[in-house]
A and B are shown apart, each in its own frame.
Chain A
Amino acid sequence: MATMQNSFDPQYYCVIHPLDDAPEEKCSTEGLGQIAMTPTVRLSLKVLRGYLILMSIMLLYHVLDLAGIVHQLR
């Protein structure tokens, strides 16, 4: 808890630092496995694959061009 009322004196708030506080139960992936392949997830991953392949080629070309290597190869 971020804050709590002091039971001895309700006029005071007790503010606890996150690192000093009791741990709370978080959303866990335990037993869930991989994300459900909904149409949105499937499409997003396909677009991402294509994008990354294309961009990697473009970037390599651009860096080689800036470094003057493409010009030398021509």
Chain B
Amino acid sequence: MTKPQLDTTGMPVVGVLVRRTWQKHLLTFLMVFGPGLIVMEADNDAGAVSTYMQAGGQYGMHLLWTLVVLLPICYFVQEMVARLGIATGKGHAAMIYERFGKWWGRFSLIDLLIVNFLTLVTEFAAISLALSALGVGPWIAVPVSALALILMVVTGSYLRWERIVIALCLLDLTWFGLAYVVHPDWAAVGADTMLPTMPEGGITGSLVFLVIAVVGTTIAPWQLFFQQSCVAEKRLRFADLKWARLDTLIGAVFTVAVAGAMMLVGNYGYQHHIVFEDPAQLALALGPIAGTFVRNGVLLLMVNAAVLGTTAISLASAWAYGEVKGWEHSLHKKVWEAPGFYATYIVCVAAAAAIVLIPRMPLQLVIISVQVFAGLILPSAIIFLQLLLNDRELLGERWVNRPWNNAINWTIIVVLFALSLLLAAQVMLPNLFN
């Protein structure tokens, strides 16, 4: 391979020469690869670690099947986001503003900023919990993490940020090692993954609440905004769509597999009758039984999950706010070239970190509430996506949803509405499922 300077359309373009067709495809894919994996794996954030491990800790492997159901949902939703981003070159917030007017634009933006901010609080709470368990006090762990997260983005290079974040995503491969070390019954894993089974006690309010929390944590509203902005930031071209789809599919499969590994580690706690409120407590309890690899692995991966979640969610907020405000909103810009964009990111990170340092925050309540709240807000974000993907005036026939796309997406919306209504029923009639 060589790196020539070509003059194609009157402007110098840097390319890489390859001889074989498969090399061309592989290299193009590697160049496009990133947003799909990042958006999916960043969704396995601290709240997700907590929710999946709670699912394993309370119900063993009985909820593994939910992940199989969520895999195609994740993919189909994010594929539409990638398609819209490539077709328009703009973020989701900007599209809602331009096509649905200021009221819906502000509603979506404010919703997004609130949910994102609450979620950021949970991320820093997780960093504080995990590093405290490793002997690092919160007054060191939280400010240092916040500073590192800010330094990650202020370099003025999207690619540098992307490479760092992909490396962090790949660290999550360690979850498979942890799942292997706790020796689950693999035949039971296969059975519970493929066939839903009823846990002891049947359908209870707690079970319904946890299933909705799993849905809410696996498909979050910020993902729609993040990936579309990320695709626009990376300037993906029409011809890149098939590779962006593959990127998204790989991300979805990887994320669901990692989530399954988290449930298996939680299941180990279930088998040993360990009662826990957060993954850090479980990790400490598992230490004497499963060894220091599991103990420290869970704690460090919890920090990694929180870091991934924080950078992606803060960027989703900063991109969305910058688009709507009409500011420069790009990681390609230096700090002084896009001050509003970077200030939004920094304020989100710093304020969430500061809140976590307030003593006696009810953290587990915040974590679960955020997951459920996100699950409730998600249907609105998906409806806008669905309507935009049927906007022939904007997209033309080439990019709009095909009838089968619409059938799948309306089904997803109905399922999400139904789960939300189940939660409503549980709230209004708490004894319904008991």
A residues near B, CB below 8 A? 1-4, 6, 11-24, 26-29, 32, 34-36, 40-41, 44-45, 48, 51-52, 54-55, 58-59, 61-63, 65-67
Contacts and interface: CB of A to CB of B under 8 A. Distances in A.
Contact of B234 (A19, A22, A54): A19
B427 A2 contact: no
B369 interface: yes
B104 to A, nearest CB: 8
A20 B15 contact: yes
A13 B23 contact: yes
Chain A to chain B: the 5 pairs with minimum beta-carbon distance, closest first: A26-B89, A14-B15, A13-B24, A2-B239, A16-B15
Contacts of A28: 88
A6 B365 CA distance: 59
B376 interface: yes
18 contacts: A14-B4, A14-B16, A15-B18, A15-B28, A17-B31, A18-B32, A18-B240, A19-B159, A32-B394, A34-B98, A35-B99, A35-B393, A48-B380, A51-B379, A51-B420, A55-B424, A58-B424, A59-B376
A13 B18 contact: yes
A17 B237 CA distance: 10
Contacts of A54: 424
A58 B427 contact: yes
A54 B17 CA distance: 58
B372 interface: yes
Nearest to B428: A58
B158 A19 contact: yes
Given A2-B237, A24-B238, A15 B362 contact: no
Contact of B383 (A6, A48, A59): A48
Interface string B315-353: 000000000000000001000000000000000000000
| Residue from A4, A35, A62, A67 with most neighbouring chain B CB atoms (10 Å) | A35
B376 A1 contact: no
B423 interface: yes
A60 to B, nearest CB: 10
Nearest to A36: B393
Task: Please classify how large the interface on chain B is, using the bins under 10, 10 to 19, 20 to 34, 35 or more.
Answer: 35 or more
B187 to A, nearest CB: 38
Contacts of B98: 29, 32, 34
Contacts of B161: none
Interface string B21-32: 101100110011
B395 interface: yes
B380 A51 contact: yes
B401 to A, nearest CB: 12
B115 to A, nearest CB: 11
Given A55-B424, A58-B424, A58-B428, A21 B235 contact: yes
Interface stretch (B6-14, B42-50, B67-75): B6-14
Contacts of B427: 58-59, 61-62, 65
A22 B9 contact: yes
A27 B399 contact: yes
B13 A35 contact: no
Contact of B396 (A20, A22, A27): A27
Contacts of A21: 13, 235, 237
A16 B90 CA distance: 21
A22 B17 CA distance: 17
Contact of B13 (A16, A24, A58, A62): A16
Contacts of B369: 63, 66
Interface string B68-105: 00000000000000000001111000010011110010
Nearest to A20: B14
B387 A13 contact: no
| Residue from A2, A34, A63, A67 with most neighbouring chain B CB atoms (10 Å) | A2
Contacts of B192: none
Interface in B227-261: 234-240, 243
A20 B9 CA distance: 13
B18 A12 contact: yes
